[in-house]
């Protein structure tokens, strides 16, 4: 079984976010980048298939040379080969088109992407990728088993979970629950050393165009000051909730 895992290069959630050029561009200065958490759950599940069923695992990213440290980390976790499409990620459609072009030549049985990246939260790429490849698709996936040419997937739905059966090839939009957080892997020294020798192939883009454009970014309003109320002063608490917070 051949598996392709999509890896997004995203800012660490602890990074301080700023914008430039009149709040139209993200300022990357001083920002630490990591593997998108939803993709990390997918990568860990792919490693399980590699170890238990002998699958091969490739990873792919659409981006410039600055994304290669993130790809090397994924290789250190255990992926076999990295592929970087040498173009900036402009929007979900462009990214899906570039990944699909590579995937068509790779003859992959299973493609695992995060259901969304934590930077732009578009949530578009997995579904678009499945359509472009004419493959089955399961989003918000929290469980996945493969038996021959059949996959059994569990996904979150409103009010519960749903279990589905689908034939390969399959595209999965994974998230927390695909593996337990305790199963996520930290690269060890041996993995880091081996990652340096693993292939990181740079392929040129097809020239897919973007269909959307960010016009302006705006930070959330700063948190207001906290008011402390004595535990036994219920009248003041009710007054503040009614007249100031207006929640009752």
The DSSP bridge partners found for residue 143 are 154
Question: How does residue 17 score in pLDDT terms, banded at 50, 70 and 90?
Answer: confident
pLDDT above 90 (res 44): yes
The span from the CA of 144 to the CA of 147, in Å, is 10
Q: Place 245 in a pLDDT band, splitting at 50, 70 and 90.
A: confident
**Domain of 69, in residue numbers:** 2-216
Question: Is the predicted pLDDT of residue 213 greater than 90, yes or no?
Answer: no
Indicate whether 223 belongs to any domain.
no
Average pLDDT value over all residues in the chain: 93
Per-residue model confidence (pLDDT) at position 214:
85
pLDDT tens readout for residues 101-158: 999 999 999 999 999 999 888 899 999 999 999 999 999 999 999 999 999 999 999 8
Exposed e or buried b per residue across 154-167, where buried means at least 16 C-beta atoms within 10 angstroms of its C-beta: bbbeeeeeeeeebe
Task: Write down the pLDDT at residue 68.
Answer: 96
So what's the pLDDT on residue 84?
Answer: 98
Residue 144 covered by a domain: yes
- Tell whether 243 is covered by a domain: no
- Residue 92 in domain: yes
Of 106, 91, 115, which Cα lies nearest the Cα of 59?
Answer: 106
pLDDT in tens, 172-194: 999 999 999 999 998 899 999 99
Q: What is the DSSP string of 151-216?
A: EEEEEEETTEEEEEEEESSEEEEE-TTSS-GGG-----HHHHHHHTTS-EEEE----PPPS-----
Q: Tokens standing for 69?
A: 């440290």
Domain holding 127: CATH number? Answer: 3.40.50.620
Task: Please tell me the total count of domains within the chain.
Answer: 1
The band of 222, judged by pLDDT with boundaries at 50, 70 and 90, is confident
Is position 201 within any domain? yes
Q: What is the pTM of this model?
A: 0.87
Q: What is the mean pLDDT of residues 19-30?
A: 89
Q: How many CB atoms lie within 10 A of CB 142?
A: 19
Look at residue 33 and tell me if it is in a domain.
yes
Q: Residue 32: what pLDDT?
A: 92
Q: Are 195 and 4 spatial neighbours (Cβ–Cβ below 8 Å)?
A: no
Residue 245, domain member (yes or no): no
Percent of the chain at pLDDT > 90 equals: 77
72 is a domain residue:
yes
| pLDDT value for 207 | 92
What residues have CB less than 8 Å from 214, skipping those under 6 apart?
24, 120
Asked if residue 169 has pLDDT above 90, the reply is yes
């Amino acid at each position: 079984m051949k598996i392709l895992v999509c890896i997004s290069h995203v800012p660490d959630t602890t990074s301080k976010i700023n914008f430039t050029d009149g709040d139209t561009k993200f300022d990357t200065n001083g920002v630490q980048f990591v593997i998108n958490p939803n993709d990390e759950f997918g990568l860990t599940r792919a490693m399980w298939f590699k170890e238990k069923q002998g699958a091969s695992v490739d990873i792919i990213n659409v981006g410039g040379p600055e994304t290669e440290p993130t790809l090397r980390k994924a290789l250190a976790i255990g992926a076999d080969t990295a592929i970087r499409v040498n173009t900036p990620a402009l929007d979900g459609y462009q990214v899906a088109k570039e990944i699909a072009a590579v995937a068509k030549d790779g003859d992959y049985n299973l493609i695992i992407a995060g259901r969304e990246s934590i930077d732009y939260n578009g949530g578009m790429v997995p579904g678009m990728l499945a359509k472009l490849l004419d493959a089955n698709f399961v989003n918000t996936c929290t469980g996945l088993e493969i038996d021959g040419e059949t996959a059994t997937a569990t996904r979150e739905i409103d009010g519960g979970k749903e279990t589905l059966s689908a034939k390969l090839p399959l595209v999965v939009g994974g998230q927390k629950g695909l593996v337990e957080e305790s199963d996520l892997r930290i690269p060890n020294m041996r993995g880091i050393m081996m990652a340096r020798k693993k292939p990181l192939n740079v392929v040129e883009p097809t020239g897919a165009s973007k269909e959307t454009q960010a016009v302006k970014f705006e930070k959330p309003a700063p948190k207001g000051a906290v008011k402390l109320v004595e535990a036994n002063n219920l009248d003041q608490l009710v007054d503040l909730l009614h007249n100031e917070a207006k929640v009752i």
